[in-house]
Structure 1
Amino acid sequence: MTIENLVGVAVFAIVLIGGLLVQAAMQIARTQPRALMRARALALADADAPAGGVTEGVALFHERERRMRLGGWLDERLRRIRIVSGKLGLRLTGFVVLAAMVLALAIAQIDVVPAWAAPPLLIALPLGALNWFTRLLVERFRMRMLNVFPDALDLMARAVRAGVPVVRAIEIVADECAQPLASEFRQIADGLQLGIELETVLNDAMRRLRIPEFSFFCVALLLQRETGGSLGETLEGLADIVRARKDVRQKSRALTAESRLASRVIACVPPFIFGSLYVVDRDYVQIMLDTHAGHMILVASGMLLFIGLAIIQRVAKLDTLR
């Protein structure tokens, strides 16, 4: 087979695989809960809209989308970091973004990277690092909350069964439970003592934390206020549900531990081998650092390694937090 035929087959295979990957990515994006809720909201709004008009819900929906496009994404990430980790989290985030900018500048200095790629790198890498670190801080905050949340529900259920009012039961949880749950319940209790309506305080807490289990708790309090019933039994049942969801998360992490460990080992092997060869026989690997072809091989290898690790992490991650 001639070189032309090999090149043609390679191009065809690349185009075919690229098309399949794009189709799979589009299918995954369409089946995300956010995309499904967005499509459902638009469908309901269009069904309720008058002929030739736009409903208020649709206008608000597009207004939020416009704000997000104009920079609300960055503001939302910073606000979320401030909520889950405070000023220390903001400082750590600034350090991570700065490190990503330094890395982008270092990559831009490689001779195989074109000059036009430097500005996109300086934008994409810091934003990607910001998004990744935000998710890391949010996940850490969520796990710390859920580790003590079932015990807080049991404590509140026993207080309610003993005849303690709901506001006082929330204060007891704020005094007895560990952080960060104690500070959140303290904020709710302070709002109620200031005379703010229970519905307003709980809705604000749900929007601030965005934790499904905590939203279940707020909805249970609001429903009990409207319909009555035994709040103690409701809180005990909710505590059992939270513990069951925690068990599911732990089982999912156990089932995917092998693939996650394998991805970390795979990520460490190439730099370790390259560093070992550089120490043992520097002339053998110096060609990778001094020649244009060696730079191309390093860049291509790094990109393929990053794509492979991203795919492994995506497959191994089971989303059990919804």
Structure 2
Amino acid sequence: MSPLVLILLSVLAVGAVGLAFAPGMSGGGRADKRIKALSAGERAGGRKRRDDPKKKLSERRKSLQDILDEQSDTNKKNKRVSLKKKLAHAGMRVSVGAFWRNAVIFGSLVFIVAWATGVPLLFALVFGAAGTYVVPMWYVGRRTRKYQAKFLDEFPNAVEAIVRGIQSGMPLNESMRVVASEAKEPVKTEFTRLVEQQAVGKNMAEAVPILFERLPIAEVNFFVVVITVQQQSGGNLSEALGNLAVVLRNRKKMKAKVKAVSSEAKASAGIIGALPFVVTIMVSLVTPTYMVPMFTTPTGNLMLGIAAFMMAFGVFVMSKMIQFDY
């Protein structure tokens, strides 16, 4: 074999070995780069797909937190409300002007009766002022508590009726319309107002908060938050409202249990509060002249005033002791 052929074969052999062990010389480096880029893209895509549910959950939580913050701001604003809203909270359909007119008439009657029965003019004025403002506002507060309690008795049934309507294929507004037509008062009246708000062009997310404005209680707040979150973020509304109905019934049971446990304390407070008046009446029946100086002398009037203030303060403290937040 000639030296030239031997050199040529040697070069070819070295080149073949180089191509076998150095693929970068034949473009393998670019292929590796493409493979690495493709693998990185797949990992990024997989990570993005895996992060999507977390992102949605985070957005949902943020939406819920925004709604809760908005409801909290509304609650703070509702702590000091106007008389018009207080009358609405009590379910009273009287206007503000008519309410003050009736309050002034009642206070004037109290003043006239007190002055005609021999009460000094200063105390008669105090009684008249109390009859004009304190007694009417106490009546509004009492009506508000009774109205809210009556609403809460029927509210879980209304929520369950909405759940059954949604599960049967009815839209949410139609389910509320059924509740507005078939529920008991005052749920019927409040849901009728809710349906009327939708009839004038408001969507569900805008109409539902009006229910909380008229009934600023925790149970209604829960209902508003559930509806608002579902309207903004989606989700299984029937399941959420079903869970809410269970919560409402559990809160109702808890209220009944607390009422039963605190009944003894309430009875004791009633007896202690009524005892001074009962003793005064009994002493006056046994000895009619014994209590006369309390009403005819300045010292007796002063003592009556102090006693009335202490009694009012004691009744206030006892009422706070026997009231519980659920």
Q: Report the TM-score, using the length of structure 1 for normalisation.
A: 0.66
SS of equivalent to 1:210: coil
Distance verdict in 2 for CA 1:132–1:198, change over 3 Å: same
Answer with 166-175 or 279-288: which moved more.
Answer: 279-288
Match of 1:273 in 2: 279
- Structure-2 change in CA distance of 1:319 and 1:83 (3 Å): closer
Which runs of 5 or more structure 2 residues have no equivalent in the other structure?
1-68, 70-76
* Higher mean C-alpha displacement, 94-103 vs 127-136: 94-103
Q: How many residues align?
A: 248
Pick aligned residue for 1:180 from 166, 169, 186: 186
Pair 1:302–1:123, CA change in 2 (3 A): closer
Deviations along 1:116-167, whole A, 9 cap, x unmatched?
x887776566333333222111111111110011011111101101111111
Partner of 2:135: 129
Aligned residues: CA RMSD: 3.3
- Kept in 2: contact 1:93–1:133 (CA 8 A): no
Rg larger in structure? 2
Change in 2 beyond 3 A, CA 1:270/1:177:
same
Contact kept? 1:83, 1:208, Cα under 8 Å: yes
Q: Deviation at 1:89?
A: 9.2
Amino acid at match of 2:324: L
What is the CA–CA distance in structure 1 between the aligned matches of 2:160 and 2:133, rounded to whole Å?
A: 41
Aligned partners of 1:167, 1:144: CA distance in 2, in Å?
Answer: 24
Alignment of 1:123-272 (within 5 A): 126-272=132-278
Match of 2:86 in 1: 80
> Per-residue displacement from partner, 1:250-299 (whole Å, max 9, x unpaired)?
22222222222222222222222222222332122223232233222222
How far, CA to CA, are the matches of 1:120 and 1:274 in structure 2? 21
Structure 1 residue 233: Cα displacement: 1.0
Provide the secondary structure at the position in 2 that maps to 1:86.
coil
Give the SS at the match of 1:268.
Answer: helix
Where in structure 1 are there 5+ consecutive unaligned residues? 1-43, 45-63
- Indicate how the Cα distance of structure 1 residues 205 and 123 shifts in structure 2: closer, same or farther if over 3 A, else same: same
Q: Which amino acid aligns with 2:193?
A: Q
**Runs of 4+ that moved beyond 4 A:** 88-98, 100-105, 117-125
Contact 2:88–2:214 (8 Å) recurs in 1: no
Quick one: percent identity of the two aligned structures?
Answer: 20
Question: TM-score if structure 2 supplies the norm length?
Answer: 0.66
Partner SS state of residue 87, structure 1: coil
What is the letter of the counterpart of residue 236 of structure 2? S
